[in-house]
Structures are given as C-alpha cells and as structure tokens.
Structure 1
Amino acid sequence: MAEKESLPKITKITTQKRKGRYNVFIDEHYAFPISEDVMIKFRIFKGMEIDKKLRAEILAADDVSKAYSKALAFLSGHLRTEHEIEQKLKEKEIPEPTIQATLVRLRDLNLVDDEQYAESYVRTMARTSDKGPIVIRRNLRQKGVLENDIDQGLAEYPDEDQVQNGIEIAKKLAHHYQREPLTKMKQKVRQGLMTKGFSGDVISQILEQTHFEADPELENEKLNAEFAKVWRRNRRYVFSQRKMRTKRTLYGKGFSIDAINVLLEQQTDSEGI
C-alpha cells in the first residue's frame, strides 16, 4: 500500500519588528506574514500541517486583520460611518471582499453603527452649530448614512429645540441686517434661516417669538439715501409717474409706505423734468 503523501509543514515562526506580526516558514522557506489574532484563531504552531485550502483561509483572514487595523486607526478618536470607512479602505487599495468582511467584524464588535453615529452627529450639530435639520440631513447623506438612520438621529433634535436655537440665530441675523428696513430685515432673516436648513413651519415659529427692532435713525438714514437715488433715477418721467415709480421701488425695498409718502409730499412739481 502506497504511503500517504505528507502535507507542507510549518517549520518556523518568527516575530517581526512590528508588534503583533509574525513570519511563517513552511518546509524551511518563508511562506507568509500573519497577525497575532489570526495565529490564535487558527491555532497556528510549529509542526502544523497546512494544505492549500487552509493556507488560503489564513491569508484571507490576515488580509481582513490588516484592513481591520487600518480601520481602527481611522476610527481612533472619532466616530465614522460605514461609508467613510469603506472609502478609506478603498483608498488603500484593499479588495472589496476584504472591506466587507472588515465591516462585518466592526459591526459585530459595535465599533461602527450608523444609527448611533447619526444620533451623535445630530446632538453635536444642534449644540454647537447654527445648522437646521435639512442641512444636517444633507450632511449625513453625504456621509453615506441611510434615511432610516438619519430619521432616528433627527429625533434627537425636536422642533422645540430647533425653535430655541433658531431664535438666537435670528437675533444674530437681525443684528447683521440692522441697517435694512424692518420688513426687509425680516425677509433676510427668514432667508437666512432657510439657508441654514430650518423648515418653513419652524421658521414661522421662530419669527413669531423673535422681537425685531430696527434702529429708527439708521432706517431713516437709509431711506433718505435710497430715496435720493431712486428719485434722481426717475427724473425723466412726468411728476406723477416719477412719484408712483419711486414709491413702488422703495416699498419693494421694504421701506414703510408712510415714511415714503412723507418724503414724496416734500417734493414739488418744479423738481420734475
């Protein structure tokens, strides 16, 4: 009876300079490197026989181990989404199957959780930024978070909190536009809140609870300057049309119709064409 052919055998295992990494020699020849966790998982020891199938499994596991170490370094000190980790590993030219296996391992160890990430991100943005839920949702989408996880996260930022934050933002915007007529100031505050990602309903509540007060002197100064420009620009029209066009333009800019009429009443037909 023919003697069974012997399998390749591990003849030496040496440590690398990098902590937790080892070199494996088969039949006295260098074969491959492995990590400590892979060595433990497969119970690798000197004298162990390794066929082609087992060798392939060990190498695949070591690829995942290396990708896992890279992912941990990327995660160090920061929460990350699955998409962000996947993109980072792709940048390092790690094969897709290895990336997916790495993500499974990270999920199993609760090191990556997009729902948890979304909740944390929303809480941080609500506390430290001037962004509303529409912008926050867009940011999370860009990070690859799925809609259901985003919805769960945004539950951390209820309407009442949005309104309270929005009032402070509205006050800052109003201060920035204090030289504008009161009506125009409110319009710009509304536009600013929309740009920052607050919904129409929430903006209406914010504006209802925000006290707007224009500086009368600044508003009057602005009106006089604008009136002079518009009145001069309309000088080619007959007096009645000049008044009508000037009133329409200034009212469109947000100035009080009563204040406009006061200035118009001061003009005489002799200042016409």
Structure 2
Amino acid sequence: MRVTAIERPPRKRRYDVRIDDARVVPLSREVLAAANLRVGQELDDSRVAELEAAEARHTAMTAALRLLSYRQRSEREMWDALRSRRIPEAIAGETLDRLRQLRLLDDQAFAEAWTESRQRNSPRGRRMLLAEL
C-alpha cells in the first residue's frame, strides 16, 4: 500500500491520509508528525493499524485531558466518558493507567474533594453524601 495524498479538509483539525486512493485514515497533526509520513511512502497493514491505534490513543488522551480541565473526575466517570466516545476498551484502559501515573486521576482525592465541596455548598448528612457519591 502506498500513501497517495495527505490532505487537510477545510475546517477540520485532522489530516486525511489517502492510501492507494481508496482508503482514508484520518490523523491528528501530532500523530502525523510523529509518524513522519510522506506521499509515495509504502505502508503495510501492520503500520496502518499502528497509525490508527496511535490516533485512538491521542484522541483518548485529548478527550480525557479536556474533561479534567473542567473538574476532577472519578475513574468510572472517565471510563464512561471515553467509552461513550467509542474509544476501544484497551485504549481507554491505557489512558486511565497513564492518567493515574501522572496523578491526574485519583478516586481517593476525587472523593475527598467532592465531599468537601458538597458539604460546603449543599450540606447533607453522611448517608446522603455516600449515596450521591
């Protein structure tokens, strides 16, 4: 298989990598730059699968970081959000692992911050807080 074109559609943030003028693999600028693809370059099936997996990992991490930019999330919330975006289970799991390594995802810290915030803004009893959490 040969890369026949690399195009950026109008008003899109991704690039379309055309393979043999038939298959289109959409890639972000970051994944495209890291892959160092050029028109005319030969690719095999494993390389295309690798590019698609790299794009899925990039999409998952970008979505997760965007969600975390608004507020802390529990692991379950993050898992559900990634899966709702059709991120494959394996890649969603890798993303959660990476977020834990970076200490951006911590259920214990989330629960403490959530209960503290809830107590401050809308005081409730212990049982009610546990039920909501």
Instruction: Give TM-score scaled by structure 1 length.
Output: 0.42
Report the counterpart of residue 76 of structure 2 in structure 1: 83
Whichever residue aligns with residue 136 of structure 1, its letter is L
Report how far residue 19 of structure 1 moved: 4.6
Report the counterpart of residue 130 of structure 1 in structure 2: 123
Report how far residue 91 of structure 1 moved: 3.1
Map 1:1-273 → 2, pairs under 5 A: 8-140=1-133
In structure 2, runs of 5+ residues without a counterpart are none
Relative to structure 1, the CA distance from residue 31 to residue 137 in structure 2 (aligned partners, 3 Å threshold; closer, same or farther) is same
Larger strand share, 1 or 2: 2
Between structure 1 and structure 2, the one with the greater Rg is: 1
Whichever residue aligns with residue 63 of structure 1, its letter is A
Relative to structure 1, the CA distance from residue 40 to residue 103 in structure 2 (aligned partners, 3 Å threshold; closer, same or farther) is farther
Identity of aligned residues (%): 35
Report the counterpart of residue 211 of structure 1 in structure 2: none
Alpha-carbon separation, structure 1, partners of 2:129 and 2:43: 52
Partner deviation per Cα, 1:148-184 (whole Å, 9 max, x = no partner)? xxxxxxxxxxxxxxxxxxxxxxxxxxxxxxxxxxxxx
RMSD: 2.6
User: Which structure exhibits the higher relative contact order, with contacts defined as CA atoms closer than 8 Å and separated by 6 or more residues?
Assistant: 2
Alpha-carbon separation, structure 2, partners of 1:91 and 1:26: 29
* SS of corresponding position for 1:135: helix
* SS of corresponding position for 1:64: helix
Instruction: Give TM-score scaled by structure 2 length.
Output: 0.76
Partner deviation per Cα, 1:116-153 (whole Å, 9 max, x = no partner)? 2123212212322222444333433xxxxxxxxxxxxx
Whichever residue aligns with residue 111 of structure 2, its letter is A
**Aligned residue-pair number:** 133
Q: Is 119-128 or 129-138 further displaced after alignment?
A: 129-138
Alpha-carbon separation, structure 2, partners of 1:35 and 1:100: 21
Alpha-carbon separation, structure 1, partners of 2:10 and 2:105: 30
